[in-house]
Amino acid sequence: MLQRAPHPIVPSDRSELDSPSVAVDISSTTSWSSVSNSRRQQQHGDIEIVQCLQLENQTLKNDNHTLGEKNKTLSSNQCRHSSTQVLDKLKVFDVELLTFSHKYGVVAEMFPPEHCILKLTVPNPPPAILSGSCYASKSAEELCLVTELYSLLPDHLHQFVPTSHFQSLLEQQLQGGRLSEISKLRVMAGQIFGLNPSYFDTGFTNRDTIPEIQKMLGMTGSRSSSKFPPVLFTRQERDPTMSTVFGNWEPLAKVLIY
């Protein structure tokens, strides 16, 4: 039986294995694999960093929200505590403030100044409250109002003037004072003006249709419903400019005498 001799290695085959191009291909493949692994590791590390930053950001947001809620609570409690302190301090002087309010309603104003006026500070030097310049402008009138109020109020109560409690107390007292004076005037009106006292009872209606009352007011017919009847003006003549209103002092003097 014939035997085949082994195939000899041809020199050209060895040269192909040892060829530089083959070595370069192997080296390139190895390098690319290494780079790919490195990139995957880097990407994985970047993802972990981003996740950590996201968690930290969410934690900071939660902490910030919690602090915000605490600040709201503290601010609310502080304001409530502060207003309560002022209110307690004011209540100590309520009796004195009520006495002042009654005096203010009698000698100064029947209606309280607006709250925004009470927050004004008295200028230095203060304006002359008995001068005609008080009515030169709205701002001048407001300054005179607050100056007059401070001049009548004891110094130790000045600090409470801008508070809403003072405003409320003053308004309530002046309203009560007006009602009281009107009630007294109703009782005495018959004697003051020489008319039937029943005309001024609270239950009496259509008093402006009574001829005696129309004559006293200087009005007749439908004009009798005017807020400023002629009797209030100088010479009992209505002035459209209102410059002479309350110029007729006689009926006012009769009221003040009683």
Which residues make Cβ contacts (< 8 Å) with residue 10, sequence separation at least 6? none
Distance CA 26, CA 65 (A): 59
Q: Which of 16-30, 51-65, 187-201 has the lowest mean pLDDT?
A: 16-30
pLDDT in tens, 89-148: 667 788 888 888 878 887 788 888 888 898 998 888 888 888 788 888 888 889 999 999
Q: Where are the domains of the chain?
A: 45-92
Contact 174, 104 (CB under 8 A): yes
Model confidence at 219: pLDDT above 50: yes
Q: What's this model's pTM, rounded to 2 decimal places? A: 0.48
CB 225: neighbour CB atoms within 10 A?
A: 9
pLDDT in tens, 189-218: 888 888 999 998 888 888 888 888 888 888
Q: How far is CA 253 from CA 145, 166, 193, 246, in A?
A: 25, 33, 11, 11
Distance CA 241, CA 83 (A): 46
Q: How far is CA 44 from CA 34, 36, 38, 48, 214, in A?
A: 15, 12, 10, 6, 101
Mean pLDDT of the chain: 76
